[in-house]
Structure 1
Amino acid sequence: MKKEFWNDTVVVITGASSGIGKALLEELAIFPCQLVLLARRAGDIPEPTAKHKDTILHRVTCDLSDPSSVQDAIDWISKRIERVDVLFNNAGITAHGRFDSLSMEVYRKTFATNFFGPVQFIKGLLPLVTIAKGNIVTTSTVSALYGVPGRAAYSASKSALHAALESLRIESLDLGIGVSLVCVPYTDTALRTSGLDSFGNLLTEAPAKGKRKSAKEVAHVLMEVAKDKEARLVTFNLSGKFLEWMRFFSPKFLEKILYKKLYDDFKTH
């Protein structure tokens, strides 16, 4: 009988206290594995609803926007964990605002959490991923595929991370590791109430209109991607695939669609 993929694995999850990270915790805790769970406030990481008797949970404080906090987390993990089979690079922050109104501080904060922190963290754990010939799975967004109006800082930070990890994937072809980018659609999370507005204040926006995925649905897709080292850029639905293709074949048409669809998000008030 084929062994269950997640049995006896070591899995690292950033942003494990809420949203997609919390859903990953819930879905993986039923397997006999080690889960290394990171969040800015490790005490906020919940106990899973159901847990296998042999599951081991490690809660680690890590603020991706703080290089010293990231290094502390890397050091803690490296001293206690011998390998990393799957690294779910999940934590992130959004930022909303017109290009001409976004403060440079918002750019810095967004890049600190979405680019510099993840790059430092992945780089620090890469030796452990390499030992396991593991997979790095990043929770990303279709906003990384094209500069989305009203999302300049967010799009830029995620696009930069895509480029860095694509470089890593090519450089690591002989190491046997996987590097996957998953562009998730609108999801029921607290992203729009934990992100930043143009001036660096917390967003207080209503959830995105239209159909949204549940965090559990997204977690299931991320878990499937983690099993496939050949997965590179994964989009969920028609809207994601539409943007992925139209950016190459008809960017002018794509920009008109984005202008019309997101006009309320970036119009001058």
Structure 2
Amino acid sequence: MKKEFWNDSVVVITGASSGIGKALLEEIAVFPCQLVLLARRAGDIPKPEAKHKDTILHRITCDLADPSSVQDAIDWISKRIDRVDVLFNNAGITAHGRFDSLSMDVYQKTFATNFFGPIQLIRGLLPFLLKAKGNIVTTSTVSALYGVPGRAAYSASKSALHAALESLRIESLEEGIGVSLVCVPYTDTALRTSGLDAEGKRLAEAPAKGKRKSAKEVAHVLMKEAMDKEARLVTFNLSGKFLEWMRFFSPKFLEKILYKKLYNDFKTH
């Protein structure tokens, strides 16, 4: 990791209290920088195990689903920070359920956290990102690349965020900011135990089967992409690249694969 990039930088991380956000905090805190850490419960944001003596931590309560909470966070940052070198747009929520069983409340809550909240935060911090010619790095999912069965609300919210940020990237070509979308694979986080079921209740599912990345491994990739202004859509592994390419070349075949792989997630009971 190029320490020169992180030294004296101002880094904003959403969802900093757990999972990938916590891992980013742990990995970046070893550099002399300012870390602006956002979470719904700021008191849950941990003290990093290793921290440079000159690193400054700012813990801010911010619920992305609440516009007033997001605005409060923007106002707090605006009064204390003069630029943003990297924004890790990391916080998010999942929602599981068939299209015909998902309540509208689930769609609204999922979009509030995954789309409207991040858009409001990015808009509010954009002057500070432009000043630094900074980078926006979004923790996303391959579910944003195609409508995944049993994940309609989740796929739709992440796909919408992709489209909005791709527009921002093109509009900002002359301003020199970077906008990357990193589709992470299954990762050891609490995503499946803190999301929503079809009725809007707390999701309580077992972790995804198969090999999973650690939050630290994902954090390293996100940090790598933060240093690359040319990074755009980033997929981790073969399954991600497969979905990325097959959506263009053979969507019918892709849909058969998704149907078979995720049948148990959306079949009627």
Provide the TM-score with structure 2 as the length reference.
0.99
Matched residue type, 1:141: T
CA displacement 1:108-149 (0-9 Å, x = unmatched) = 000000000000000000000000000000000000000000
Please show how residues 1-269 of structure 1 align to structure 2 within 5 Å: 4-269=4-269
Matched residue type, 1:53: K
CA displacement 1:190-209 (0-9 Å, x = unmatched) = 00000000000000100000
Matched residue type, 1:254: L
CA shift, 1:36, in A, is 0.2
Matched residue type, 2:156: A
Matched residue type, 1:264: N
Matched residue type, 1:191: L
Between the aligned partners of 2:127 and 2:85, the Cα distance in structure 1 is 11
Unmatched segments (≥5 aa) in structure 1: none
Matched residue type, 1:102: L
Between the aligned partners of 1:202 and 1:236, the Cα distance in structure 2 is 28
Unmatched segments (≥5 aa) in structure 2: none
CA shift, 1:187, in A, is 0.2
CA shift, 1:3, in A, is 6.1
Q: Runs of at least 4 residues of structure 1 off by over 6 A? A: none
Q: How many residues align?
A: 268
CA shift, 1:4, in A, is 1.8
Same amino acid, percent of matched pairs: 90
Provide the TM-score with structure 1 as the length reference.
0.99
Matched residue type, 2:75: D
**Once superposed, what is the RMSD of the aligned Cα atoms?**
0.7
